[in-house]
Amino acid sequence: MGLLIFFSTMYLLLLKAGILGILLSPQVLDGKEQYEGHQVLEVVPQNEVQVTCLKDICRSSLLDLWIPLEPDGIRVRTKVHVRIPSTALQSVKEDLLRCSLDFKILIENVKDIVGRIKENKNVRHKRSLENYNYEQYHPMEEIYSWITQMADNNKDFITQHSLGETYELRPMQYLKISQPSSQPKKIVWMDCGIHAREWIAPAFCQWFVKEIVQSCQSDPKMKKILSNVDVYVLPVLNIDGYTYTWTHERLWRKSRSKYHNGTCYGVDLNRNFDVNWCVEGSSTNCSSNAFCGDSPASEPETKALVNFVEKWKSDIICYLSIHSYSQLILTAYGYTTELPKNYNETVKVAQMAASELKKIHGTDYLAGTFAEQLYKASGTSQDWLCNQGIDFSYTLELRDNGTNQFILPEDQIRPTCEETMAAVMTIIEYINDKYFPNVASVSSVSLWLFTFTALQIVLCGLY
């Protein structure tokens, strides 16, 4: 009994110090991410007692929650996805059964699917832009080189810029796609990869640029849009984290800034913006995947985007932040269930986008606010931009819905990008028509005048 009390006390002390979380981290186990024997489970609590029980299990073992991100976000009859390290698997399953919580194994062994993509990486070598494979995931060096080649090969309308530097001093390169125009233009901003492990997001940003380049001369819709708006694309926002997912830990989410004298790393950059900062769905504990940082915009990556938006906000008409997974098109807000003033219009556009997306491969997406459809979260880039006056501020959560989660196989890159392209273009086209109605309205007014005049002539003739 005395021994039990001793171990319980030690356990609580370790928990308090955040040390248990570090022990459970695969990167600390052997210096290299392995995930051998880790499983991802789906649990759906059916009542409040089960919700409390599940929250306790997640908290006491400091498990890697994927949906929601924090135990506080667990709700009745809402699915929970959680990664369990092999060392904790048996005890967690026993705890779940004790609480009468049924569970489904979504991923039998995380190592197996992580390994598949890592093996592919080793056989790659440098490619020219013509041979660039958009149906593979690329490490950051290849994306940097792709950015430079994309700008070099399309000098007349694509330029390469730096938004700032990451914590580890990597340049945050973005592309500006801008057709020459004598009229003042507006800005559509898209960033991908604010969360390191969501590899499909940077893959989409690259696909998106490639599609624009291929269709800007031939597609009248694209031509019209680019005559009014400049499109800015930041393929990877959290570059340090993304690099780390290739070198150390595939399922790393946050940035890589050092906290507490190097005992703890990384801020969830999508909880670091100055909007109800660190209140809902975020954590002050650096070991948490939803750590909000020391203060709003404490991180250089956040600050870089904030500086850009503060400078250009009167010109930005649309903000698109690409994530995975869950198949959602999300409008503001995430930090509150209150609705922004233009909610009806933004959600209508999101529904239109989901319906266009479905036409491509039949994939179902839901549209709605971040807080309704996902979970409450403070300090997101989407909410901060919305409150800066950018009315059309969206988060897209791409495939899938729980089968492969963050480790989406490469054979799904093409269909995911094709359907996402349809959704994104629906949003951009709507906003373009709203802000630049001249062409459409002039032609419809002319048509109306023509009809009216013709009718008068006919009527006059009759009389």
Q: For residue 430, what are the CA distances in angstroms to 104, 160, 256, 397?
A: 41, 27, 37, 20
Report in angstroms how near the CB of residue 381 gets to Zn ion at its nearest: 10
Between 317 and 417, CB nearer to Zn ion: 417
- Of 166-174, 190-198, 254-262, 311-319, the segment contacting Zn ion by CB under 5 A is 190-198
Strand order of the β-sheet with 103-107 is: 64-67, 80-84, 39-43, 103-107
Between 158 and 190, CB nearer to Zn ion: 190
| Residue 142 is among the residues annotated as catalytic for this protein | no
Using CA atoms, how far apart are residues 177 and 209, in angstroms rounded to an integer? 8
Near Zn ion in 282-341, by CB under 5 A: 323
Q: For residue 88, what are the CA distances in angstroms to 11, 37, 39, 128?
A: 14, 10, 10, 46
Between 174 and 325, CB nearer to Zn ion: 325
Report in angstroms how near the CB of residue 163 gets to Zn ion at its nearest: 19
* Interaction between residue 195 and Zn ion (CB under 5 A): yes
Using CA atoms, how far apart are residues 240 and 214, in angstroms rounded to an integer? 30
DSSP H or E stretch at residue 173:
strand 171-177
Residue 404, C-beta contacts closer than 8 angstroms, at least 6 positions apart: 107, 113, 412
- Of 26-34, 72-80, 86-94, 192-200, the segment contacting Zn ion by CB under 5 A is 192-200
Near Zn ion in 243-282, by CB under 5 A: none
- Calculate the dihedral angle through the C-alpha atoms of 122, 123, 128, 133, rounding to the nearest 10 degrees: -90
Tell me the per-residue interface mask from 405 to 424 with Zn ion, x by CB under 5 A, - otherwise: --------------------
Using CA atoms, how far apart are residues 394 and 358, in angstroms rounded to an integer? 18
Report in angstroms how near the CB of residue 248 gets to Zn ion at its nearest: 19
Report in angstroms how near the CB of residue 59 gets to Zn ion at its nearest: 22
Between 140 and 151, CB nearer to Zn ion: 140
Nearest to 136 by CA among 416, 413, 449, 443: 413
Between 111 and 323, CB nearer to Zn ion: 323
Report in angstroms how near the CB of residue 232 gets to Zn ion at its nearest: 20
At position 285, the amino acid (one-letter code) is N
Selected catalytic residue, list 142, 356, 397, 429: 397
Binding site for Zn ion (CB under 5 A): 195, 323
Active-site residues: which are they?
A: 397
